[in-house]
Amino acid sequence: MRVSIALIRPLVVRTVAVTDPRDLLAHLPGTAPYAWIRRGEGLVGWGVAARAEVPPGPGRFDWAREWLASLFEGARIDDQVGLPGSGPVAFGSFTFDRDVPGSVLVVPRVVLARRQGQAWLTTIGEAETLPVAPATEPGRIRYGDGTLSAPEWQHVVAQAVAKIKAGVLDKVVLARDLRATAEREIDPRALLARLADRYPECYTFSVDGLVGATPELLVRHIGRSIESLVLAGTVSRGTGPAEDAARAAELYASAKDREEHGYAVASVRQALAPLCAELHVPDEPDLLVLPNVQHLATRITGRLSDGASVLDVVAAMHPTAAVGGTPTDAAIEVIRELEGMDRGRYAGPVGWIDSRGDGEWGIALRCAEVSGREARLFAGCGIMGGSDPAAELAEAQAKFRVMQYALEG
């Protein structure tokens, strides 16, 4: 069901420079925070000036772009900063499966931002002054199986491997979920603070109850320049530098992981090439080292050939092989057949867009859907013909630890 709300029409928007707020997250009130933070920079927001539940279907990104264009075109904007992310901004997250409802866009009433030594405050209508009390801790956490138990999920992985060996597809990404129940209501700000501190290289986000820290940048769009960070191929961290180096070398030399990474890079190249006048794709991947895992990583850059907005680029790219599989259509069908669960917004695009069409969007990985005392955690693994179900389960458990740390501290 399509629902859109504009609490303030027309939008009366004012953006002014402010002194450095330092810790952006420390300024968030406790009610429904919005956030996109990396290395202490980014945007946080609160309050609701406008909100839309995006209808599912193949045209959902077009609908979202048109709704925002209508909203922003009628706005009275006094932007004294003029940088990407100044003026009115919408935070959004989309479901992984285009046919599943739950995608949302929200324009906060207040956005506080800092980037490259500059900081600004955007307000819509009368500034909303809310008390900022310290974030509360959730207390003791109990975990329970999600849709499938660990042995059941390993069986699903084995079924996927059999389909790949039979030639049905080349790769599929399978996800599993984990249920968490807290002693007290979960305050997203406590999770955000821990994630931003421990995973500064990731994009820490909060949009409408979806909270996480993703390492994967789907697209950064500034003017006509775009950038994407492709991750596929993973190994857990070792117990020390020597073991870390050995595992990194093993990952880099792994035919299975290099093939998996190659599929992901090829899918991004294929999606971006028609949109770009220039596109640079490195021949060899780098290594992204995070506190819990190491990934094969390729940073792709380009220059758009026309005035496409960041949502147009997101529409062309999602789902990449890094979160779906190869070929895409066959992988989506296998996911629907084998996973046995609704991913919701896990592995879907998450990020922000401003009135110029600039923005940053990641893939919602290392995340949880949070509601009251409950949280639903997600993790996924790329399955290839040479995948071992026990090893894939261990990789998923390593990925769960990001949000378990956020909940437990």
Provide the b/e sequence for 331-366 (b: ≥16 CB within 10 Å): bbebbeebbeeebbbbbbbbbbbbbbbbbbbbbbbb
SS3 332: helix
**Residues β-bridged to residue 106:** 51, 91
Q: What is the DSSP letter of 346?
A: T
Reading the block at residue 253, the tokens are 């030399």
Under 8 Å CB-to-CB from 386, ≥6 apart: which residues?
255, 256
What radius of gyration, in Å, describes the C-alpha atoms of the chain? 21
Is residue 171 part of the annotated active site? The answer reads yes
- β 225-236/50-53 pair status: unpaired
Residue in 171, 339, 392, 399 annotated catalytic: 171
Residue in 216, 259, 260, 360 annotated catalytic: 216
Is residue 399 part of the annotated active site? The answer reads no
Write the CA distances from 300 to 100, 287, 292, integer angstroms. 29, 14, 24
Q: What is the DSSP letter of 318?
A: P
User: Phi, psi (5° rounding) for residue 380?
Assistant: -140, 160
As annotated, the active-site residues are: 171, 216
